[in-house]
């Protein structure tokens, strides 16, 4: 049985950033990875996806973008090499093709059982990702069998889909990008739109992510926001990383012919029902975008950036028809496929430690789990608004490794000496 002061589960950007911070603190550790470095990027993304953040913005501890297109958006292949290069650079101790099957208390520390053997560790960092499974509403099972049903995790490209209409459920970054690509392939798209976050790609000649980074929006802390539970479940920004720096909001999709209805509320006998709240959903998104742009304009004035960029402007409100569709007969509208872009969930089925709160979420305070010596990384708004971004891993890993290191140094309550003996 092997042992380490720390075991990290997952060799994505989050796990690797933690590894680098632990190495900096001379804490002996191991990364367990079910597949290969950057596994989810290699196996669970659609083909055309590019990162939604500009190249310059993926700043990991001791590593960043070195090419000559800082404002571009990485393809999946480029994202994978970026993360692989980082793993090589920091000589990350990754044990690949090792699937964690069970984690339990070992008193002190944790016992980590995998398909390649068992390890003991004093501390555990869970960096296995926020998007392990698609979250699909339970009424999806009422779809007629003649209609193809796939989640955004199963979607790769439009050629997978039959010819004919497609209903895309969900209007976050995933739903809007898939709707765009599928509609352009000649398969007419209807989108079911629930709560969403509308932003322009570019505002006053700068990328929205540049503004959010510069104005400190992305640095807002989890203990500063009004309702962190809600902040952690806000859908992703409607963004696409494209060469044209295209804005991909509902108005842009409407312009190419995508049609819309409210949130999908039910399926009944081959008919789908949409919520009648679509107008308000769009009003909420427009108002929220307005507040973000107000905040950016205020910051631009205060910081002196105002004179370097064009003057403020606003975008047309989201266009909504007077009476949006409430009921749609799938066969009548020739809808052959439904794509569920209704969000993702982490998979903690292997974690046998009582740390779960409501709805299967792990109870934690900014990534510090209630169970001593256990940490979380790489979840939405874990410690800061940017925690969901690759760029968020730097600050989160630094903070959590400080905590982890102090915990290992505590004279009582853990077993750093025993850990050394085990080696």
Q: Which residues bind other proteins (CB under 8 A)?
A: 262, 265-266, 268, 273, 275-277, 280, 283-284, 287, 290, 323, 358
State the nearest-atom distance from the C-beta of 272 to other proteins, in Å: 11
State the nearest-atom distance from the C-beta of 153 to other proteins, in Å: 27
Of the pair 313, 410, the CB lying nearest other proteins is at: 313
State the nearest-atom distance from the C-beta of 285 to other proteins, in Å: 10
Whether cis (ω within 30° of 0) applies to the bond prior to 108 is yes
Of the pair 270, 290, the CB lying nearest other proteins is at: 290
Give the DSSP H/E element, type plus range, for residue 204: none
Rounded Cα distance between 95 and 102, Å, is: 16
State the nearest-atom distance from the C-beta of 323 to other proteins, in Å: 6
Of the pair 91, 268, the CB lying nearest other proteins is at: 268
Rounded Cα distance between 271 and 67, Å, is: 50
Position of tokens 């950007």? 13
CB 41 within 8 Å of CB 419: no
Of the pair 17, 293, the CB lying nearest other proteins is at: 293
State phi, psi for 274 to the nearest 5 degrees. -115, 150
Of the pair 71, 286, the CB lying nearest other proteins is at: 286
State the nearest-atom distance from the C-beta of 266 to other proteins, in Å: 5
CB neighbours of 299 closer than 8 A, spacing ≥ 6? 211, 214, 215, 216, 305
State the nearest-atom distance from the C-beta of 318 to other proteins, in Å: 12
Rounded Cα distance between 30 and 38, Å, is: 16
Of the pair 173, 289, the CB lying nearest other proteins is at: 289
Q: Smallest Cα–Cα separation from 325: which of 271, 253, 250, 285?
A: 271
Q: Which two tokens stand for residue 215?
A: 């104005």
Q: Beta-strand (E) ranges in 12-142?
A: 29-32, 94-95, 100-105, 110-114, 117-126, 133-134
State the nearest-atom distance from the C-beta of 280 to other proteins, in Å: 4
Q: Which two tokens stand for residue 86?
A: 């980082």
Of the pair 249, 395, the CB lying nearest other proteins is at: 249
């Amino acid at each position: 049985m092997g042992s380490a002061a720390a075991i990290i589960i997952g060799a994505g950007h989050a796990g690797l950033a933690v590894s680098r911070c632990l190495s900096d603190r001379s804490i002996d550790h191991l990364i367990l990875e079910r597949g290969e470095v950057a596994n989810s990027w290699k196996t669970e993304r659609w083909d055309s996806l590019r990162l939604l953040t500009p190249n310059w913005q993926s700043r990991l501890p001791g590593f960043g973008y070195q090419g000559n297109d800082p404002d571009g958006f990485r393809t999946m292949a480029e994202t994978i090499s970026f993360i692989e290069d980082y793993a090589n650079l920091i000589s990350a101790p990754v044990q690949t093709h090792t699937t964690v099957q069970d984690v339990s208390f070992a008193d002190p520390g944790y016992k980590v059982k995998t398909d390649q053997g068992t390890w003991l560790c004093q501390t555990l960092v869970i960096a296995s990702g926020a998007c392990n499974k698609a979250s699909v509403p339970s009424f999806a099972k009422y779809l007629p069998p003649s209609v193809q049903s796939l989640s955004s995790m199963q979607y790769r490209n439009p050629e997978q889909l039959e010819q004919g209409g497609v209903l895309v459920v969900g209007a976050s970054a995933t739903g809007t990008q898939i709707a765009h690509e599928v509609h352009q392939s000649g398969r007419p798209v209807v989108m079911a739109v629930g709560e969403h976050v509308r932003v322009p790609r570019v505002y006053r000649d700068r990328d929205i992510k540049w503004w959010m980074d510069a104005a400190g929006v992305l640095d807002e802390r989890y203990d500063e926001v009004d309702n962190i539970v809600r902040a952690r479940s806000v859908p992703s920004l409607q963004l696409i990383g494209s060469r044209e720096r295209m804005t991909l909001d509902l108005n842009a999709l409407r312009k190419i012919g995508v049609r819309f209805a409210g949130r999908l509320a039910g399926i009944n006998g081959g008919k789908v029902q949409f919520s009648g709240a679509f107008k308000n959903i769009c009003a909420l998104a427009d108002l929220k975008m307005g507040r973000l742009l107000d905040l950016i304009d205020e910051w631009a004035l205060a910081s002196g950036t105002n004179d370097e960029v064009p003057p403020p402007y606003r975008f047309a409100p989201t266009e909504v028809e007077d009476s949006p569709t409430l009921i749609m007969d799938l066969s009548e509208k020739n809808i052959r496929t439904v794509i569920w872009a209704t969000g993702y969930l982490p998979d903690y089925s292997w974690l046998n430690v009582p740390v779960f709160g409501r709805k299967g979420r792990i109870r934690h305070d900014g990534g510090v789990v209630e169970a001593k010596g256990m940490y979380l990384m790489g979840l939405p708004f874990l410690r800061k608004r940017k925690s969901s971004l690759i760029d968020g891993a730097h600050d989160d890993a630094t903070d959590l490794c400080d905590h982890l290191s102090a915990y290992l140094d505590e004279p009582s309550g853990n077993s750093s000496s025993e850990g050394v003996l085990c080696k």
